[in-house]
């Protein structure tokens, strides 16, 4: 009886180890990758479509404020055993679809 229980425990431990190693080896990607270096090309009064064209992907979030102005945000996370990175940019637009300013920008980790 003890040998059977020990075998079950060993099999369970092996399965848990395999699950852990599989999850560690897989990259975790969240959001759409955008070209962070392209944020330097953004200027006041650009339209939403011009900004999207420069960054190369649609925003991940849109927040409308009470006065009609709105924020667009792009976020990207990449995590793996060998490297991780986070990119985020938030841009404020006027109600007439013109860029007012870059409200926030972060970049951490290595390029890939």
Report if residue 83 sits inside a domain. Answer: yes
Domain that holds residue 95: 28-109
First-residue to last-residue Cα distance in the chain:
53
Report if residue 67 sits inside a domain. Answer: yes
Report if residue 14 sits inside a domain. Answer: no
Check pLDDT > 50 for residue 30. Answer: yes
Report if residue 7 sits inside a domain. Answer: no
Report if residue 5 sits inside a domain. Answer: no
At residue 35, φ and ψ (nearest 5 deg) are: -85, 100
What pLDDT, on the 0 to 100 scale, is given for residue 14?
Answer: 72
- Kindly report whether the global pTM for this prediction surpasses the value 0.85: no
Q: Compute the distance between CA of residue 75 and CA of residue 9 in angstroms, rounded to an integer.
A: 42
How many Cα atoms within 13 Å fall on the side-chain side of residue 14?
Answer: 6
Report if residue 23 sits inside a domain. Answer: no
Domains of the chain: total? 1
If you search the block for the tokens 């270096």, which residue do you land on?
Answer: 37
Report if residue 6 sits inside a domain. Answer: no
Bin 45: left if φ > 0, else alpha if -120 < ψ < 50, else beta. left
Report if residue 36 sits inside a domain. Answer: yes
Domain at 35, CATH number = 3.30.1450
Tens of pLDDT, residues 53-96: 999 888 988 999 999 999 999 888 777 666 777 888 999 999 99
């Amino acid at each position: 009886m003890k040998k059977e229980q020990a075998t079950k425990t060993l099999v369970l431990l092996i399965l848990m180890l395999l699950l852990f190693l599989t999850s560690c080896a897989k990259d975790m990607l969240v959001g759409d990758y955008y070209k962070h270096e392209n944020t330097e090309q953004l200027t006041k009064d650009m339209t939403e479509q011009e900004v999207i064209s420069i960054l190369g992907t649609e925003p991940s979030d849109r927040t409308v404020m009470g006065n009609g102005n709105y924020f667009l945000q792009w976020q990207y996370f990449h995590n793996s055993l060998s490297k991780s990175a986070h990119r985020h940019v938030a841009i404020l637009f006027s109600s007439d679809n013109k860029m007012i300013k870059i409200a926030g920008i972060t970049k951490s980790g290595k390029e890939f």
